[in-house]
């Protein structure tokens, strides 16, 4: 199996799948963000659709629950004029024992053009792109605790829009980094954009051990880690992925790491607060911060549609040209 960076790019460096932000060149990230900005500007028009993917079929394959990601991928595909099929795994033949391999081969035979895949198993989208349907564009919508590249890209878009070039910023990621595919992808994306100061804040039980190798500073006290940052990214406690009691209680987590107005004052003036959702009020964020002027959480959702439009358009364009 090829490495992820090689697998998602053509020999001349064009994007044919989006599987991970790890190893994505800065020029390609910037191109995706710039393309998304053009789509974003068109979303305020009375007619939001563009005909870029007319006649193409996008299949959403969500083997895990999702609200924002699945809905925004659905909206993005429709706004590009694609035909969209969302497979309900609970009622598909997978519930009758059909393997993932056979399900995908059948969809390939139906002339699908792009798969959006969310799966609980880390590496599932890589396996699909490499071994199952290499001529169909594959977008990773989250695999296990491994990667969530479109979330990282929409976060980078939001950061760039509100705070400018990440190469000039300090970014703190707070909470359950150990189980977070969002955090892993964002760290790789920030590194790819030249961010010089990335901080991880949380209890030792929720911080991965390899952060130092990624150039990330770790802090166990939120007061130490927030000092002077420009961007605060809050993460949900991924209790469904925890195999043991890594936290005494949600209340204690909020007391130690919850983002309150007083803690936010430790960051730079006009620092922005982000969250991939779903937010848990009173656990990782206080109401006054979630609803306050420095929160850009709903802007992230809006940007997510534009980013997913950009990724779909770019990957399908590359696949089409490589087969012509």
Q: What pLDDT digit, counting tens, does each position of 48-88 carry?
A: 899 999 999 999 998 887 888 899 999 999 999 999 998 86
Sign of the CA dihedral 29, 147, 171, 68?
positive
Average pLDDT over every residue of 144-162: 96
Question: Is CATH 2.40.50.140 the right assignment for the domain spanning 4-148+302-323?
Answer: no
Confidence band for 272, pLDDT divided at 50, 70 and 90: very high
Of the chain, the percentage scoring pLDDT greater than 70 comes to 92
Question: Is CATH 3.30.230.10 the right assignment for the domain spanning 150-298?
Answer: no
Q: 102: which 2 tokens? A: 């056979």
Q: Tens of pLDDT along 255-268?
A: 999 999 999 999 99
Q: Tens of pLDDT along 88-110?
A: 666 566 666 778 888 888 888 99
pLDDT of 231 strictly over 90: yes
Query: Tokens 């083997």 belong to which residue?
Result: 63
Average pLDDT over every residue of 277-305: 96
Is the bond preceding 278 in cis, omega lying within 30 degrees of 0?
yes
Query: Do the two domains 4-148+302-323 and 150-298 of this chain adopt the same fold?
Result: yes
Average pLDDT over every residue of 220-231: 97
Using alpha carbons only, give the angle 153, 154, 156 rounded to the nearest 5 degrees: 65
Q: Tens of pLDDT along 117-151?
A: 998 888 999 999 998 888 899 999 999 889 999 99
Q: 121: which 2 tokens? A: 């198993």
SS3 assignment for the chain: CCCHHHHHECCCCCECCECCCCCCCHHHHHHHHHHHHHHHHHCCCCCCCCCCCCCCEEEEEECCCCCHHHHHHHHHHHHCCCEEEEECCCCCHHHHCCCHHHHHHHHHHCCCCEEEEEECCCCHHHHHHHHHCCCCEEEEEEECCCECHHHHHHHHHHHHHHHCCHHHCEEEEECCCCCCHHHHHHHHHHHHCCCCEEEEECCHHHCCCCHHHHCEEEECCHHHHCCCCCEEEECCCCHHHCCCCCCCCHHHHHHHHCECHHHHCCCCCCCEEECCCCCCECCCECHHHHCCCCECHHHHHHHHHHHHHHHHHHHHHHHHHHHC
Of 267, 263, 258, nearest to 227 (Cα)? 267
Q: Tens of pLDDT along 19-53?
A: 999 999 999 999 999 999 999 988 778 888 999 99
Instruction: Write down the domain spans for the chain.
Output: 4-148+302-323, 150-298
Q: How far apart are CA 208 and CA 217, in angstroms?
A: 12
- Mean pLDDT (the chain) is 91
What pLDDT sits at residue 246? 59
pLDDT of 305 strictly over 90: yes
Of the chain, the percentage scoring pLDDT greater than 90 comes to 73
| C-beta separation of 190 from 33 below 8 A | no
Give backbone dihedrals phi and psi of 160, rounded to 5 degrees, phi first.
-65, -40
Q: 136: which 2 tokens? A: 């169909």
> What amino acid positions are annotated as catalytic residues?
68-69, 96, 118, 148
Q: Tens of pLDDT along 165-175?
A: 999 999 999 99
* Residue 148 neighbours by CB distance under 10 Å: 26
């Amino acid at each position: 199996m090829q490495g992820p960076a090689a697998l998602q790019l053509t020999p001349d460096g064009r994007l044919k799948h989006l599987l991970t932000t790890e190893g994505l060149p800065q020029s390609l990230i910037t191109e995706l963000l710039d393309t998304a900005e053009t789509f974003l500007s068109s979303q305020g028009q009375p007619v939001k659709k563009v005909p870029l993917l007319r006649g193409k079929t996008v299949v959403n394959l969500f083997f895990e629950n999702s609200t924002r990601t699945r809905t925004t991928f659905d909206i993005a595909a429709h706004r590009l004029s694609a035909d969209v099929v969302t497979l309900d795994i609970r009622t598909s033949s997978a519930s009758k024992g059909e393997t993932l391999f056979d399900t995908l081969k059948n969809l390939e035979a139906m002339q699908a053009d792009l798969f959006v895949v969310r799966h609980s198993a880390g590496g599932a989208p890589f396996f699909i792109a490499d071994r199952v349907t290499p001529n169909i564009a594959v977008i990773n919508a989250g695999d296990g605790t491994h990667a969530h590249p479109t979330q990282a890209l929409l976060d980078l878009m939001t950061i760039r829009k509100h705070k400018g070039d990440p190469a000039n910023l300090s970014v703190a990621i707070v909470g359950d980094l150990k189980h977070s595919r969002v955090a892993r992808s964002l760290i790789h994306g920030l590194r790819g954009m030249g961010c010089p100061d990335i901080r991880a804040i949380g209890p030792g039980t929720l911080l991965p051990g390899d952060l130092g190798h990624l150039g990330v500073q770790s802090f166990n006290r939120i007061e130490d880690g927030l000092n002077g940052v420009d961007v605060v990214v809050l993460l949900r406690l991924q209790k469904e992925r925890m195999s043991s009691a890594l936290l005494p209680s949600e209340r204690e987590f909020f007391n130690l790491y919850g983002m309150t107005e007083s803690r936010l004052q430790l960051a730079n003036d006009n620092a922005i607060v982000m969250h991939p959702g779903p937010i848990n009020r009173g656990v990782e964020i206080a109401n006054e911060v979630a609803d306050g002027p420095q929160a850009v959480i709903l802007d992230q959702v809006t940007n997510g549609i534009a980013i997913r439009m950009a990724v779909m358009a770019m990957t399908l364009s590359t696949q089409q040209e490589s087969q012509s």
